Amino acid sequence: MARLRAALVGAGRAGAVHAGNLADYAGRAELAAVVDERREAAEVLAERFGVTAFADLEQALEGVDAVVITAPTFTHRDLAVRAAEAGKHVFCEKPMALTIAECDEMIAAAERAGVVLQIGFMRRFQPEFAEARRRIEGGDLGVPMVIKSLTRGPGLPPPWAWDIERSNGMLAEVNSHDFDCVRWLAGAEIERVYAEVAHFKGRERGVDAADFYDSAVVSLRFASGAIGTIDGTCPADYGYDARVEVVCSDGLLVVGDLRGTAILEVRDRDVGTVTPLHRTWPDRFRDAYRAEMRAFVESALSGEAPAVTGADGRAAVAAVRAANRSWREGRPVAPAEEAPA
Amino acid sequence: MARLRAALVGAGRAGAVHAGNLADYAGRAELAAVVDERREAAEVLAERFGVTAFADLEQALEGVDAVVITAPTFTHRDLAVRAAEAGKHVFCEKPMALTIAECDEMIAAAERAGVVLQIGFMRRFQPEFAEARRRIEGGDLGVPMVIKSLTRGPGLPPPWAWDIERSNGMLAEVNSHDFDCVRWLAGAEIERVYAEVAHFKGRERGVDAADFYDSAVVSLRFASGAIGTIDGTCPADYGYDARVEVVCSDGLLVVGDLRGTAILEVRDRDVGTVTPLHRTWPDRFRDAYRAEMRAFVESALSGEAPAVTGADGRAAVAAVRAANRSWREGRPVAPAEEAPA
Amino acid sequence: MARLRAALVGAGRAGAVHAGNLADYAGRAELAAVVDERREAAEVLAERFGVTAFADLEQALEGVDAVVITAPTFTHRDLAVRAAEAGKHVFCEKPMALTIAECDEMIAAAERAGVVLQIGFMRRFQPEFAEARRRIEGGDLGVPMVIKSLTRGPGLPPPWAWDIERSNGMLAEVNSHDFDCVRWLAGAEIERVYAEVAHFKGRERGVDAADFYDSAVVSLRFASGAIGTIDGTCPADYGYDARVEVVCSDGLLVVGDLRGTAILEVRDRDVGTVTPLHRTWPDRFRDAYRAEMRAFVESALSGEAPAVTGADGRAAVAAVRAANRSWREGRPVAPAEEAPA
Amino acid sequence: MARLRAALVGAGRAGAVHAGNLADYAGRAELAAVVDERREAAEVLAERFGVTAFADLEQALEGVDAVVITAPTFTHRDLAVRAAEAGKHVFCEKPMALTIAECDEMIAAAERAGVVLQIGFMRRFQPEFAEARRRIEGGDLGVPMVIKSLTRGPGLPPPWAWDIERSNGMLAEVNSHDFDCVRWLAGAEIERVYAEVAHFKGRERGVDAADFYDSAVVSLRFASGAIGTIDGTCPADYGYDARVEVVCSDGLLVVGDLRGTAILEVRDRDVGTVTPLHRTWPDRFRDAYRAEMRAFVESALSGEAPAVTGADGRAAVAAVRAANRSWREGRPVAPAEEAPA
């Protein structure tokens, strides 16, 4: 197979990013169809890339080799299992699913079908994050002692995500990346989490869900003895912000910054030095999204294991659910309570 | 009284900093004596400033207006109470004391004597910290939602501080500043803390105390509904690092950075861009130490209330003790458990 | 024409960058042949992209729509004229040519043939440079008063370029970009230049040309009344560095910095904060090279005028030659002396 | 002599800075009198420090050991010679004087009287500039090849300085520091300068002098073979900006940046990351002003040679005058034309 033909399910914002990256990789990949139960959305995106729109995955499966899932989290399990059972490789956006049971079904379906299942933790592909991991593995900095990761974004989560039962909340929709990232950089599983949450801005934007939170801090203990924190705020009007800091026994690693590009504009004495910042995640992680889709294409074409597995997706779901339980029950919780090995 | 004559107790590193700042403020203040039970240390420092050395505070009290306490924490209560009872103004380094009962004795003694009692939370005097507080109070940034503060330092705490019963551990010796700072910036009391600690580097440097920790992360909930984290690592070889980040409802404040000065040196392609960093706390907070001592002198000369009170010192001790209890008992703890109002 | 078939002439480092960008744009472009008189070099690069290698342009012209010229400067005129006369669109790396007469021949040939001629000033396509231009044009910053641009690179120019008669020297090979960039940002022609040069590092690397220089500073006066400087150093071991600063009447614009990515590594107290820097131009301007080739493809496919014209290339050659004359004659020189309008 | 009693001449902005630094160094120095022919200005400043005001230097000489000159440049020669002839040590603000003959008179008077003459190039005392010099002298970076220095300030020069005959213009009033700084960092004399100037903003602020310029770029050649540039803009609304960059044979040194403090404020998506910048020179070089006055006091008390000599001041005057001549005559000029050795 020289080129991978893919159907994309979910014609939202992430869908448009992945569709563009598939089309841009025309030498190795081909976007063949766009699926969305919101028929009109599917058609708009499909037309942009000159492909066919469908309202249901079934109709799009014929003639494609892979399915890229960018629909809401609660649809992931069903879509991924159907795609795998039809023998298609699966790329699934984060969070992988809502429960550990769903994750397990997806992993089992991919294994039975012998297809690739890659989860969309694209930060692993961002050059500076990848470099950080390489340096830690290289060992020059000693062992990780304290790992801190944060994500803040300008947009309110979509209404279906306000209900935590249905979405696992902001910690899932926004901070899944952090849970994956700290585990990946620590080189160790998360053993215990403790969460505090707050709700400041959602209400003024019309969120009416009883237990909605828009800010969270999570304390972490890793199996290696390292400790850490994750924090998230969404909406955080000021921009899209994703940073990691690792205190190692022989040095410090800082990844990411507040500056979007290297232009400094000093408007006048009353404003100060102004640097553009990242406004959105497609802007902040443009390189990463491009690289993760190319990695998926190569993995599917070659049959080699994907860089981010179902087990990685499952571990993040377990940590998120443990953090939500910690907050609700006011006590530290082990992800293993959620996901017995 | 045109000039304040002060005796300094504790001829260690902080003592030398304060002695220099007193001497430098020659128009308004005068260092009159250095006291240390380690007679030789007292003499070395006293000679540097051309003043008399004593082994005991009693001998130094005559003819001075104020006592500056920079001796180990476990001596603070006794020294402060004796100084106040002799009618001397008191400047006391952080942490204020070991227990809430000790703090209460110090506060009561100062009140009875009508003398100033100022605690050494010098960060409040560092220009960028002070500016951050002004901006939050100004209200342009909305309300604080998430507050994160960290301190990391290169030096191992002194041996007497390895025993947590005797010192309250690294969270007291190093992170007292953070506990004060987040409370001051939040404009709200800390309602609940949860701590995780780790121990990586102390052992290799000869620490043998059973429950010593060299890294900690603390989750915070404030009475205002805001949440936050504090983290500390000591020893952290890479330098002295103190930063605060406040996510407000209408913007973000970042205080402090990793760069010591504005020199960038790019040695060659294999090293990269090198910026000096802060190596020590006297370097990082030189301006703050100078300003806090001047503020104390002015407060003592004028009789106006000090900028950092005994109540502030007491609140930090309560939060530190709650964090230590949280770690030992594996549960969130309210500082109010330690310090009933 | 749905896709542009291109032959690439010059299998060196820039050739490899452009070949990769053509191949990566598979939906719209196709690399069809690699030409280099060093037959072996042509074959290595051609094989990497699965295309045919030739030793001479003539053989490669059949079946292609465009020619991308990345061979040494002294070949540009001949190659560009032959390509244009065969009806092919031409993308030509900077410097456009050695003399104004050569530039004029190239421009005339493209005009006669009705083909696109685009010069490789890729900085215009780098997002932060493009944004700087947009802001100046937008007018919020007032008018440019002082414009400073610099380029420094780690590699010694190739031996053929050591002879200034044959190459116009480092100001041509390295600083052509700056001469184009300041003119583009100023929105005004360069009226007068004055150059000082120095020679420190070439000798130790075996350069034996009598009048070689490895560092230069050039003073500039623009037709708008603005003034400025350009400086270049090559080899400058520390990395690849390209920055522009524009003092405008209502603010300051700074473009580019010394930091390659946002990773900070603080190794220990004796090194300081280390940030990776850009090591090479393909790294520093990766986005720009990609975008300029796509712009060329779109221009050739659509027939619209290219973003960087032959007149732009000619203006830079005139300024470089004026600067060299200024240095040799020890006086300010007008580019118009070199290139009568 | 345990403490240096000083009279200050010139009750303007620089005068207030030096007066404060003298008073602050109460252990070693004492401000004894303020002199200004604008009697009222003298009284305001004198009252602030509790000293006597005079309209003429003569009246203030009795009982003082030193004279600090912060009056306009055209008064420097007369004041300095009178002070030296009365046996007083002299601290003189930059520019040292208007002509080389004046400089020579001042140097001769100080030598005859055996008093210290220190010129106010305070950048040499700013920690990051001093560190840059130390690193260059240390030799790890190899030899300086290209040296660039800039100064931009928000305020229009005072009306007496608009007439270049009377002031030597902005290059003297603003860029004297740069001429001293590049010479000091290069460790070599300036051999040749070439200047271009521009005039954009002065007119709108009421400057009516025919040959006034508000921006300048100067090319430099040093006796060591190094080259460089100086640029200045005044008024430059955006703040006070002073930076130096030295390309050395084994690395790059960058001194100074655009950021005034380490607070970043990110207001919202439409502004970006905002960092305060330096607004004024007393803010930017606060530490330097303090250190240079202490160095002067120590030099005067000890009789040791000052860190910045009359010869240093004279060299800067020669370079400034050469640059002005270069601009007027449209040719490169050697400072030695102005100041025969």
As for the ipTM of the complex, it is 0.93
What number is the average pLDDT over the span D221-247? 94
Q: Which of C232, C42, C74, C89 is nearest to C151 (CA)?
A: C232
**Test mutation, B238, B265, B270, chain C, max C CBs within 10 A:** B238
d(CA B324, CA B173): 13
Torsion of CA A80, A85, A86, A90, to 10 degrees: 30
Identify the H or E element spanning C302. Answer: helix C286-302
pLDDT at A341: 67
Q: What is the pLDDT of residue A206?
A: 83
Domain ranges of chain D: 4-122+289-308, 124-284+316-338
| Mean model confidence pLDDT for chain C | 93
Q: How confident is the model at residue C259 (pLDDT cuts 50, 70, 90)?
A: low
**Residue B127 sits at the chain D interface (C-beta within 8 Å):** yes
Q: How does residue D259 score in pLDDT terms, banded at 50, 70 and 90? A: low
Of D145, D201, D251, the CB nearest to C198: D145
**Closest C-alpha to B318, from B303, B340, B297:** B340
Distance of CA C24 to the CA centre of its chain: 21
Quote the pLDDT of residue A147: 98
**pLDDT recorded at residue C149:** 98
pLDDT higher than 80, residue D263: no
pLDDT at B261 over 70: no
Mean per-residue pLDDT over chain B, rounded: 93
Read off the pLDDT of each residue in B73-93 and give the average, rounded to a whole number: 98
Mutation for testing the A interface, residue in D156, D238, D240 having most A CBs under 10 Å = D238
Shortest Cα–Cα distance, D186 to chain B (Å) = 17
In angstroms, rounded to a whole number, what is the distance separating the alpha carbons of residues D155 and D153?
A: 6
The number of C-beta contacts closer than 8 angstroms across B and C is 61
Is the pLDDT assigned to residue C329 strictly greater than 60? yes
Assess whether pLDDT exceeds 70 at residue A262: no
Which band of pLDDT confidence, cut at 50, 70 and 90, is reported for residue C279? confident
Sign of CA dihedral B188, B194, B199, B200: negative
**Angle of the B100-113 helix axis to the B310-329 helix axis, nearest 10:** 170
Measure B269 CA to nearest chain D CA, in Å: 9
- Rounded CA separation B180/B174 (Å): 12
Q: CA of C117, closest CA in chain B: separation in Å?
A: 36
SS (H, E, C) A195-209: EEEECCCCHHHCCCC
Q: What is the pLDDT of residues D79-138, one digit of tens each?
A: 999 999 999 999 999 999 999 999 999 999 999 999 999 999 999 999 899 999 999 999
pLDDT reading at B216 higher than 80 = yes
Query: What CATH code is assigned to A4-122+289-308?
Result: 3.40.50.720
pLDDT computed for residue C155 by the predictor: 83
At residue B233, what are phi and psi to the nearest 5 degrees? -145, 130
Give D201's contacts in chain C (Cβ within 8 Å): 145, 249
Q: Over 80: is that where the pLDDT of D38 sits?
A: yes
Instruction: Read off the pTM.
Output: 0.93
**C287 close contact with A: CB closer than 8 A:** no
Residues of A in contact with B247 (CB under 8 A): 152, 215, 233, 236
More confident residue, C214 or A266: C214
Tell me if D255 sits within 8 A of C207, measured CB to CB.
no
Instruction: Determine the CATH number of domain B124-284+316-338.
Output: 3.30.360.10
For B222-237, what is each residue's pLDDT tens digit? 999 999 999 999 999 8
Per-residue pLDDT, A279: 77
| Chain B interface includes A198 (CB < 8 A) | yes
The pLDDT value recorded for residue D52 is 97
* Nearest alpha carbon to residue A67 among A103, A101, A109, A39: A109
Q: Who has greater pLDDT, C165 or A197?
A: A197
Q: Which tens digits make up the pLDDT trace of A79-113?
A: 999 999 999 999 999 999 999 999 999 999 999 99
Mean pLDDT across the stretch A68-85? Answer: 98
Q: Looking at beta carbons, which residues of chain C come within 8 Å of B274?
A: 271-275
Residue B262 has pLDDT above 70, yes or no: no
pLDDT level of residue B83 (50, 70, 90 thresholds): very high
Angle between helices C286-302 and C13-24 (to 10 degrees): 60
DSSP string, A59-73: HH-TT-SEEEE-S-G
Contact C279 B268 (CB under 8 A): no
Residue of B nearest to C267 (CA): B238
For residue D1, the model assigns a pLDDT of 54
- Return the amino acid letter for A152: R
C49 CB-near residues (< 8 Å, 6+ apart): C19, C23, C31, C34
- The answer to whether B210 contacts chain C (CB < 8 Å) is no
Using the Cβ of D111 and the Cβ atoms of chain C, whether some distance falls under 8 Å is answered with: no
CB–CB contact C265 A255 (8 Å): no
> Which of C127, C140, C261 comes nearest A261 by C-beta?
C127
CB pairs under 8 A between C and D: 120
- A276 and D275: CB-CB below 8 Å? no
Query: Is the per-residue pLDDT at B208 higher than 90?
Result: no
